[in-house]
Chain A
Amino acid sequence: MINTKKFRRHSCIVAVFYLVMMPFTSIADVYNLTVDKVIIDTGKFKKQGIGYNGASPGPVLRMEEGENVTINVTNNLDEMTSIHWHGLILPYQQDGVPTISYDGIKPGETFTYKFPIVQSGTYWFHSHSGFQEPDGAYGSIVIKSKKREPFRYDRDYVVQLTDKHPHSGARIMRNLKTMPDYYNRQQQTITDFISDSETNGLGTTINDRMAWGDMRMMPADIEDVQGFTPLINGKGPNQNWTGLFKPGERIRLRFINSSAMTYFDIRIPGLKMTVVSADGNNVRPVKVDEFRIAVAETFDVIVQPKDDKAYTIFAESMGRSAFGRGTLAPRDGMVAEVPQLKKSPLLTMADMGMDHSNMKGMDHSNMKGMDHSKMKGMDHSKMKGMDHSKMKSQVDPFYAPGSGLTPNAGKDKKFLSYQDLKAQKQLYKHRAPTREIELRLTGNMERYIWSINGKKYEDEEEIRLQYGERVRFKFVNETMMSHPMHLHGMWSILDTGAGKWNPIKHTVSVAPGTTLYTETEVDAPGQWAFHCHLSYHAASGMFRKIVVVGGPKSALLNSITSKEPKV
């Protein structure tokens, strides 16, 4: 008896040992990345930049859910570097943000990241040091799901969009600081002024211009950095990245926007796209003709080209100053027609947080003394009672009514809205938030300062969250630019009014003059970055550090007090 018991206990220990060790031994892969100086050829110009394993974009890291990854990153630059794994849920010391997660990686040094993969889907990685990311330091991550995915496809392509500029990131930042409209080529001219005066009358035109001047913005300020060449998987429009297919096949396209500053409107003329995933999380499939991808977002779509012909992947920048172009084709070398850029939108008074249509009788000259900080813009919370499912028109509640940015795919065509995104699976039990934190997105265009609640990163304390709480963030965009807000380490549940089916994202775009809410289950101890993902906005102050207080003891031991990088 005693022997049997002993044996049983022994076998129990062995079993436990194997259970614990299994994930480490069976699927644990090692990935090696070098950070290198590279030449980026856009087809229009060649430019020295930064890449991984000798190229920009870097490789596609293919991982598996449940795997424990080891990633060796060797810095071949003569400056500090870092890699942030955008959208991955991991211990904060592995998150790759210098001064928040660790010190960074010194020249010549190899840093080893180790973390478990607890999710699946499409993500990306990039440097979080200086302007290395706009200079080319990005790659993509594809994580295979443990379970059968709620959709089916025969082929799978990453479509990584970037906006390569002939100037280095550091130079662009310097130029923006000295002259914020340095890269804005679509400024309104005296000809526009005369033509507006003819249409609207001289007085209205002057008043309108004065109001814009007071905002320190121009109606064409949709892209504050123009002059870039959009790339798809590193290829310029003429180099034409091509994905092959056999007619009838379902193709999964994993769109990733790794641009420094550029939002893209994406369509594939002749094909409907079924959106199945946003920011790595599956959504209920929704069929669209076109979608907008904010900086740092990812969208997975499934297309099924049935004809033996080529189709153009057309990605025009939101401000229409440039387009990216790729091709889906049955054979190499085939091309399809490349559409013209749509008319470039102009911001309206609605994008200032004011509905212009109600301002007919208003004397714009009195706006000088107006306190813009009081402009709350549009409040989505008031829309709870509305049945969005009944809305068939192109009205998108995530843009201010009358906004010049409101997307439109054309007659009888569907443009994806955040409103259409509904979680395929609930990640967290739906519950009421424990508190609300208001974050006003603010800026002074004249000095190219971007801030939160009127304060730059270096002038403001960290935001402290309690482990276990569910925080509701209220983003009030008081600027006239869109801001893709990215919280590291924890999910942002975007409030679309769908309750338990609200989609789960890592980056949410807040349109000018609007208020948007996200909720976060504070389940990751440590300290995290929280910022606008437009490179030059983050660098000029639209950035916060989040500290999560409390939580599991083991995690707490490593957090906050520790500044040492963990290897």
Chain B
Amino acid sequence: MNILSKITAIAIASATITLGSSQAWSAGSHDGGHGAKKNIGIPGKASEAMQTIEIKMLDNYYEPESISVKQGETVRFIIKNDGEFVHEFNIGTAAMHTAHQEEMMTMFEHGVLEADKINHDMMKMDMGNGKTMEHNDPNSILLEPGKSGEIVWKFNKAGKIEFACNIPGHYDAGMMGKIKFKS
């Protein structure tokens, strides 16, 4: 193994630790292992949803651009991608989004993600360390153009959180919105 491929392997390994699966989630590493996830809420049950919020993904922004929830509330998000590009809806802190943007960049660099396509087969590929590049954390959904999906999320604690698209460049161009807590 030459140095270059070694570096690549290390890069992939470190990227997949956080992308890994729900295991990675439960290990709390999605946010870089600092335990910040407690601030953003927990996966919810659809039967307990008190509010349904429809989110439209467009190029490169959401409609609506901010939402309001109550502390303790379970929200069912119905998300539809009406754009021409792949977009993400991810609930997290600004710091979590920044970390996730680097992972997304890695996914683009390895061809797992393309501007208008998700290569699901590549996502499931073992990267040689038992990890994959699957994108299936419960606080996030990645959608191809025309596709829709759902997230049920319980906002058990109020905090400084945002929903965001972490496809390279999208967050910085303004594809993010504040989650406001009503009292």
Bound CA–CA A153/B109 (angstroms): 28
Q: Which of B58, B84, B109, B174 contacts A302 (CB 8 A)?
A: B174
Q: Which of B59, B61, B109, B169 contacts A390 (CB 8 A)?
A: B109
Q: Which of A153, A272, A284 contacts B174 (CB 8 A)?
A: A153
* B61 close to A285 (CB less than 8 A): no
Main secondary structure of the interface of A (DSSP, over half): loop
Residues of B within 8 A of A250 (CB): 174
Q: A287-B168, A501-B115 are known contacts. Are A152 and B173 too (CB-CB below 8 A)?
A: yes
As a 0/1 sequence over residues 163 to 183 of chain B, the CB contacts with chain A under 8 angstroms (1 = contact) are: 000001110111100000000
* Minimum CB distance partner of A288 in chain B: B169
Instruction: Give the B interface residue count (CB, 8 A).
Output: 18
Is A204 part of the binding interface, using a Cβ–Cβ cutoff of 8 Å? no
Is A344 part of the binding interface, using a Cβ–Cβ cutoff of 8 Å? no
In the assembled complex, how far is the CB of residue A180 from the closest CB belonging to chain B, in whole angstroms?
Answer: 43
* B168 close to A152 (CB less than 8 A): no
Is B72 part of the binding interface, using a Cβ–Cβ cutoff of 8 Å? no
In the assembled complex, how far is the CB of residue A537 from the closest CB belonging to chain B, in whole angstroms?
Answer: 34
Bound CA–CA A151/B84 (angstroms): 15
Question: Which A300-355 residues have C-beta < 8 A from chain B?
Answer: 302, 304
As a 0/1 sequence over residues 138 to 170 of chain B, the CB contacts with chain A under 8 angstroms (1 = contact) are: 000000000000000000000000000000111
As a 0/1 sequence over residues 76 to 115 of chain B, the CB contacts with chain A under 8 angstroms (1 = contact) are: 0000000011000000000000000000000011010001
* A152 close to B169 (CB less than 8 A): no
In the assembled complex, how far is the CB of residue B173 from the closest CB belonging to chain A, in whole angstroms?
Answer: 4
Residues of B within 8 A of A304 (CB): 172
* B111 close to A302 (CB less than 8 A): no
Is A556 part of the binding interface, using a Cβ–Cβ cutoff of 8 Å? no
In the assembled complex, how far is the CB of residue B177 from the closest CB belonging to chain A, in whole angstroms?
Answer: 10
* A286 close to B108 (CB less than 8 A): no
In the assembled complex, how far is the CB of residue A252 from the closest CB belonging to chain B, in whole angstroms?
Answer: 10
Is B60 part of the binding interface, using a Cβ–Cβ cutoff of 8 Å? yes
Most buried by A among B65, B108, B169: B169
* Minimum CB distance partner of A424 in chain B: B59
* B59 close to A150 (CB less than 8 A): yes
Residues of A within 8 A of B59 (CB): 150, 424-425
Residues of B within 8 A of A148 (CB): 58, 61
* A392 close to B170 (CB less than 8 A): no
Is A232 part of the binding interface, using a Cβ–Cβ cutoff of 8 Å? no
* Minimum CB distance partner of A498 in chain B: B115
Is A389 part of the binding interface, using a Cβ–Cβ cutoff of 8 Å? yes
Question: Which A99-131 residues have C-beta < 8 A from chain B?
Answer: none
Is A274 part of the binding interface, using a Cβ–Cβ cutoff of 8 Å? yes
In the assembled complex, how far is the CB of residue B102 from the closest CB belonging to chain A, in whole angstroms?
Answer: 11
* Minimum CB distance partner of B116 in chain A: A501
Residues of A within 8 A of B65 (CB): 152
* B169 close to A284 (CB less than 8 A): yes
Residues of B within 8 A of A152 (CB): 61, 65, 173-175
Question: Which B7-61 residues have C-beta < 8 A from chain A?
Answer: 58-61
* A286 close to B168 (CB less than 8 A): yes
* A151 close to B173 (CB less than 8 A): yes
* B109 close to A286 (CB less than 8 A): no
Bound CA–CA A274/B173 (angstroms): 7
Residues of B within 8 A of A150 (CB): 58-61, 173
* Minimum CB distance partner of B85 in chain A: A284
Bound CA–CA A385/B109 (angstroms): 16
Most buried by B among A148, A287, A302, A392: A287
Bound CA–CA A150/B111 (angstroms): 24
Bound CA–CA A276/B175 (angstroms): 13
Is A37 part of the binding interface, using a Cβ–Cβ cutoff of 8 Å? no
Residues of B within 8 A of A424 (CB): 59
* Minimum CB distance partner of B101 in chain A: A287
Residues of A within 8 A of B173 (CB): 150-152, 274, 276, 285, 302
* A285 close to B169 (CB less than 8 A): yes
* Minimum CB distance partner of A426 in chain B: B84
Bound CA–CA A504/B109 (angstroms): 24
Bound CA–CA A276/B169 (angstroms): 9
Residues of A within 8 A of B109 (CB): 389-390, 392
Bound CA–CA A148/B172 (angstroms): 17
Q: A284-B115, A302-B174, A392-B109 are known contacts. Are A274 and B169 too (CB-CB below 8 A)?
A: yes
As a 0/1 sequence over residues 230 to 251 of chain A, the CB contacts with chain B under 8 angstroms (1 = contact) are: 0000000000000000000010
* A422 close to B115 (CB less than 8 A): yes
In the assembled complex, how far is the CB of residue B145 from the closest CB belonging to chain A, in whole angstroms?
Answer: 13
* B108 close to A285 (CB less than 8 A): no
* A389 close to B115 (CB less than 8 A): no
Bound CA–CA A148/B65 (angstroms): 13
Bound CA–CA A152/B175 (angstroms): 8
Q: A389-B109, A501-B115 are known contacts. Are A287 and B172 too (CB-CB below 8 A)?
A: yes
Bound CA–CA A150/B57 (angstroms): 11
* Minimum CB distance partner of A272 in chain B: B172
Residues of B within 8 A of A501 (CB): 115
Residues of B within 8 A of A425 (CB): 59, 84
As a 0/1 sequence over residues 420 to 436 of chain A, the CB contacts with chain B under 8 angstroms (1 = contact) are: 00101100000000000
* Minimum CB distance partner of B172 in chain A: A274
Residues of B within 8 A of A302 (CB): 172-174
Can you list 17 residue pairs at the A/B interface with Cβ under 8 Å? Answer: A150-B60, A150-B61, A250-B174, A274-B169, A284-B169, A285-B60, A285-B168, A286-B168, A286-B169, A302-B172, A302-B173, A302-B174, A304-B172, A389-B109, A392-B109, A422-B115, A425-B84
Chain A contact residues, CB within 8 Å of chain B: 148, 150-153, 250, 272, 274, 276, 284-287, 302, 304, 387, 389-390, 392, 422, 424-425, 501
Apart from A152-B65, A284-B85, A389-B108, 16 more pairs, CB < 8 Å: A148-B58, A150-B59, A152-B174, A153-B174, A272-B172, A274-B169, A274-B172, A276-B173, A284-B115, A285-B60, A285-B173, A287-B168, A304-B172, A387-B111, A389-B111, A501-B115
Closest 4 CB pairs of A and B: A152-B174, A285-B169, A151-B173, A285-B173
Chain B contact residues, CB within 8 Å of chain A: 58-61, 65, 84-85, 108-109, 111, 115, 168-170, 172-175
